[in-house]
Structure 1
Amino acid sequence: MGKLTRFGVSLDEELLEPFDGLCRRKGYGNRSEAIRDLIRRALVEEEWQHAETDAAGTLTLVYDHHKNDLARKLMRMQHDDHDLIITTLHVHLDHHNCLEVLVLKGDAVRVRALADRLISCKGVKHGTFSGTTTGQDLA
């Protein structure tokens, strides 16, 4: 970690009180830790706006593998972009429903496009993508 710099932040009490409550619920030892996390989150979001950067993320899908040959379609799509997929986890939730988690890493635009294609595939019941950073440029 670099040199620590102190700075002041002025907040209206109507904003500070809920923020302090959030800090307690999330288990932050102090406001500074929470503010550091908020800044990192904003920097990661900004990083995702740059097409030329590498990024990482997790994609979670829930689908009925019996529907419309869906499992085969999803697998084919994943094979088409195998270089972006670090690992997958496939869980049988019940007789019909599967949960699949993919860890993705690569060009941010390609990673996001793959996640969008898989989520929007007909038959996927629910999908979420959480993009993050590779951490290389984050303090």
Structure 2
Amino acid sequence: MQRITITIEDDLLAALDGFMARSGASNRSEALRDLVRRGLAEDTPETAECVGVITYALDPAQRDLGRVVPESRQRHHDTTIAALSVPLDHHAAVEVAVMRGTVGSVQAYANSLFLQRGVLHGQTALIPVKTEIEFHLHGTRAHTHEHLRVQERWKP
């Protein structure tokens, strides 16, 4: 890790300190690293490998979304890691879908959900990962399988 020195206006420093307090960062360096990571995430290559956490609210009765959304995940069974639906009342649920793939494919899937009438408050969080194939020996049984390794940042 390298140490740098920056010059910053008083108002911007006060805003940084406010962010630090709200986020729970223990110092300005942590807060700045978090803000820089988030800012650089916009430059994420569409072909980069990721895990995406897609969250949204929906009315399952609207346009039969209670059937349409699970069917859309089924069509993406090879990239769906997990899904959760939490009913809030008779007309609303919060859903979470965890997907893996390229940034472009995960964002395309999320955007297709967010465009559905009856889907509200859609957000996508992308986590950079790298797939590694590993060989393991469990007793006398040897096999290979994939591990998703979380990366510190997006790499081209």
Give the TM-score range, shorter chain: 0.7 to 0.9
- TM-score scaled to structure 2, two decimals? 0.75
Paired residue for 2:65, among 62, 67, 70?
70
Alignment gaps of 5+ in structure 2? 130-149
Alignment map for 1:92-103 (pairs within 5 Å) = 92-103=87-98
Paired residue for 2:25, among 25, 28, 34?
28
| Structure with bigger RCO (C-alpha 8 Å, 6+ apart) | 1
Paired residue for 2:115, among 107, 120, 129?
120
C-alpha separation in 1, matches of 2:128 and 2:75: 23
- 1:16: which partner in 2? 13
> Equivalent residue of 2:4, what SS?
coil
Paired residue total: 134
- TM-score scaled to structure 1, two decimals? 0.83
- 2:77: which partner in 1? 82
**What is the deviation of 1:136?**
2.4
Q: Is the 8 A contact 1:44 1:132 kept in 2?
A: no
- 1:6: which partner in 2? 3
**Distance change (3 Å), C-alpha of 1:111 and 1:34:** same
**Distance change (3 Å), C-alpha of 1:17 and 1:124:** closer
C-alpha separation in 2, matches of 1:52 and 1:6: 31
Alignment map for 1:27-46 (pairs within 5 Å) = 27-46=24-43
Alignment gaps of 5+ in structure 1? none
